[in-house]
């Protein structure tokens, strides 16, 4: 079914159809616009289902459907209003009466740049809350007091600011702060969803800066919040405390690598500094071991994807150690640990580069990691002298791999 056929059926039944949300925002920003979402007014759920029997309802509390339009599975919702009745995301009463207008539907949305619609056919712009002004001024602004209905909207505003590199209006920052108590009770899955999206931004560090400005960082990512004020030796970290260093490393990692796993590793590489005793500052002796323990506590209360935890642990425990490795066996062990991890050697290298900033190059074994790993993996048990088994065979393989490494790294 084409979009023209879709809207023709809607109109034949007395309804109106609109494109809403990010597609409209990106179109007006002059950016590639994808993933059309539709809103329909003037129809009941029953009449919509009769018009589109092929549509699959996916909304539990209110009518939302998946429908193939122009060959794409698209979300179609009936216009609705919301009334907060309790705490959190589920404390709402909804109405999808056919007399609800598109303006009323847009009023309940989060920020003005997401509260615009294009009426079909013809794509006539409907912008009752000045989303165009937000785009022009590069400002994220709440549409209405409904912003506070869902505490995760505070995270969403910070994420939008990071993705678009916009400011957040002061009154909206104040509204974000009011979400603090409910946000602390939100399911981790919803918080993690915003983190994952924010890590895809060109400058993901802005996400955490806005959360801190709104007084929300300590209730959402306390491990990152504890880095604030943890001083570091200026000789190695002129950018400031561990929080500033972490966000600088995160943004640099984002400029080097699109992989969100890599960016998460950059975010947590120095997380152990948050538990450095005050008496040790500005030094952070043992922050690698403390960081590994912090990561495990994080994962125990707010589970991380397995690959994220595995990769982060490798980076936390090895990001300082790699610069001082001299013995071939230890270098072999590290390179093979990276090879077995969810990170490629290039990914690991990018995190180390992000941590070091402009403080010089990397060890030759990291710069040539792909070549060295391939050569070491070419040493196989089948090539061992006859009769070697068990520990003896393992020792032979390790020794041969160390010799390969020594030969390739020789001046």
Dist CA 78 CA 95 (whole Å)? 10
In this prediction, residue 23 has a pLDDT band, given cuts at 50, 70 and 90, of very high
Q: How many CA atoms lie within 13 A of 314 on its CB side?
A: 28
How many C-beta neighbours within 10 Å does residue 386 have?
4
Work out the number of other CB atoms within 10 angstroms of the CB of residue 35: 11
Q: Return the structure tokens found at 241.
A: 């405390």
Mean pLDDT of 276-290: 86
d(CA 111, CA 228): 29
Which of 33-37, 156-160, 307-311, 346-350 is least confident?
A: 33-37
CA distance 9 to 113: 29
**What length does the chain have?**
411
DSSP strand pairing (117-120 vs 124-126): antiparallel
Q: Cβ atoms within 10 A of the Cβ of 86, count? A: 9
CATH of domain 151-220: 1.10.110
pLDDT band at 63 (very low <50, low <70, confident <90, very high): confident
What local confidence, expressed as pLDDT, does residue 233 receive? 81
Q: How confident is the model at residue 386, as a pLDDT?
A: 83
Q: What is the pLDDT of residue 91?
A: 57
Give the separation between CA 230 and CA 247, rounded to whole angstroms: 14
Q: What is the pLDDT of residue 195?
A: 97
98-112, 333-347, 388-402: least confident range: 388-402
Six token digits for residue 71:
């060959």
Closest CA to 286 of 270, 306, 305, 307: 270
Q: Decide if domain 1-134 falls under CATH 1.10.3720.10.
A: no
Q: Round to whole Å and give the CA distance between 313 and 290.
A: 11
pLDDT-derived band at 391 (thresholds 50, 70, 90) equals confident
Mean pLDDT of 359-375: 88
SS (H, E, C) the chain: CCHHHHHHHHHHCCCEEEEECHHHHHHHCCCCCCCCEEEEECCCHHHHHHHCCCCEECCCCCCEEEEEECCEEEEEEECCEEEECCCCCCCEEEECCCCCCHHHHHHCCCEHHHCCEEEECCCEEECCCCHHHHHHHCEECECCHHHHHCCHHHHHHHHHHHHHCCEECHHHHHHHHHCHHHHCCCCHHHHHHHHHHHCCCCCCHHHHHHHHHCCCHHHHCHHHHCCCCCCCCCCCCCCCCHHHHHHHHHHHHHHHCCCHHHHHHHHHCCHHHHHCCHHHCCCCCCHHHHHHHHHHHHHHHCCCCHHHHHHHHHHHHHCCHHHHCCCHHHHHHHHHHHHHCCCCHHHHHHHHHHHHCCCCCCCHHHHCHHHHHHHHHCCCHHHCCCCCCHHHHHHHHHHHHHHHHHHHHCC
Q: Which residue has the tokens 């990152």?
A: 224
For 131-144, write each residue's pLDDT tens digit.
Answer: 999 999 999 999 99
Domain ranges of the chain: 1-134, 151-220, 228-379
Q: How many CA atoms lie within 13 A of 13 on its CB side?
A: 22
């Amino acid at each position: 079914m084409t979009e023209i056929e879709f809207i023709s059926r809607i109109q034949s039944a007395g309804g109106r159809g609109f494109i809403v949300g990010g597609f409209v925002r990106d179109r007006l920003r002059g950016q590639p616009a994808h993933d059309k979402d539709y809103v329909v007014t003037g129809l009941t759920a029953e009449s919509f289902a009769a018009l589109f029997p092929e549509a699959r309802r996916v909304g539990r509390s209110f009518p939302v459907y998946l429908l193939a339009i122009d060959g794409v599975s698209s979300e179609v919702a009936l216009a609705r209003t919301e009334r907060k009745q309790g705490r959190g995301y589920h404390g709402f009463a909804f109405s999808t009466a056919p007399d609800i207008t598109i303006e009323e539907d847009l009023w309940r949305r989060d920020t003005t740049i997401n509260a615009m619609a294009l009426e079909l056919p013809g794509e006539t712009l409907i912008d009752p809350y000045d989303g165009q002004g937000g785009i022009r001024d590069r400002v994220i602004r709440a549409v209405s007091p409904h912003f506070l209905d869902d505490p995760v909207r505070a995270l969403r505003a910070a994420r939008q600011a990071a993705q678009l590199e916009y400011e957040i209006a002061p009154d909206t920052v104040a509204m974000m702060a009011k979400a603090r108590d409910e946000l602390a009770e939100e399911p981790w899955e919803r918080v993690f969803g915003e983190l994952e999206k924010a890590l895809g931004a060109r400058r993901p560090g802005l996400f955490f800066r806005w959360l801190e400005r709104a007084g929300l960082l300590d209730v959402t990512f306390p491990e990152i919040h504890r880095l604030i004020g943890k001083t570091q030796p200026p000789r190695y970290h002129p950018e400031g405390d561990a929080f500033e260093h972490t966000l600088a490393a995160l943004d640099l990692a984002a400029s080097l690598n699109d992989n969100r796993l890599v960016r998460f590793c950059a975010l947590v590489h120095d997380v152990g500094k948050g538990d450095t005793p005050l008496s040790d500052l500005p030094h952070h002796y043992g922050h690698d071991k403390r960081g590994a323990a912090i990561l495990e506590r994080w994962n125990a209360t707010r589970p991380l994807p397995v690959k994220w935890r595995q990769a982060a642990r490798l980076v936390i425990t090895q990001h300082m150690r790699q610069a001082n490795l001299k013995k071939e066996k230890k270098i072999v062990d590290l390179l093979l640990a990276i090879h077995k991890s969810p990170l490629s050697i290039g990914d690991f290298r990018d995190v180390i580069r992000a941590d070091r900033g402009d403080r010089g190059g990397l060890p030759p074994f990291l710069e040539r990691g792909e070549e060295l790993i391939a050569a070491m993996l070419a040493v196989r048990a089948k090539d061992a002298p006859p009769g070697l088994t068990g520990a003896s065979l393992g020792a032979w393989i390790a020794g041969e791999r160390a010799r390969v490494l020594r030969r390739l790294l020789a001046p």
